[in-house]
Amino acid sequence: MREEAEILGLFSGLRRETLHVWIERGWLAPARGGEGYVFREIDVARLRLIVEFRTDLALEDDALDVVLPLLDQVHGLRRELNRLADAVNAQPQDVRARITAHLSES
């Protein structure tokens, strides 16, 4: 867990006001701490992604309002596909073979 002050130190040029706007927009969801926000490693990774989108790709706020939820959906679908693959792999060989055959027909 990282405190807000540490986060601001990690990202040169990132202002507290900007960080708070991004949180208000729902781009980040850190926990509230005694001295401000507390960031998990997943929050830091997402912040890194947002900074990269804004600096390297020059994406505007309106574009990020679309892109970030789409990325969240992709990650959610990926998790569900992994769960489905685990469930299929847990089945007996004959069931897995029928599933594979069915998928090959599609």
Tens of each residue's pLDDT in the chain, 106 residues: 999 989 999 998 899 999 999 999 999 999 998 878 999 999 999 999 999 999 999 999 999 999 999 999 999 999 999 999 999 999 999 999 999 999 999 7
Range of the domain at 5: 1-59
* pTM tops 0.85, yes or no: no
My answer on whether 75 and 52 are in the same domain is no
Domain count for the chain, please give it. Answer: 2
My answer on whether 48 and 7 are in the same domain is yes
Of the three residues 22, 44, 59, the one that is the final residue of a domain is 59
Give the integer Cα–Cα distance in Å for 81 and 14.
Answer: 36
Give the integer Cα–Cα distance in Å for 63 and 61.
Answer: 5
My answer on whether 1 and 19 are in the same domain is yes
Of the three residues 26, 41, 59, the one that is the final residue of a domain is 59
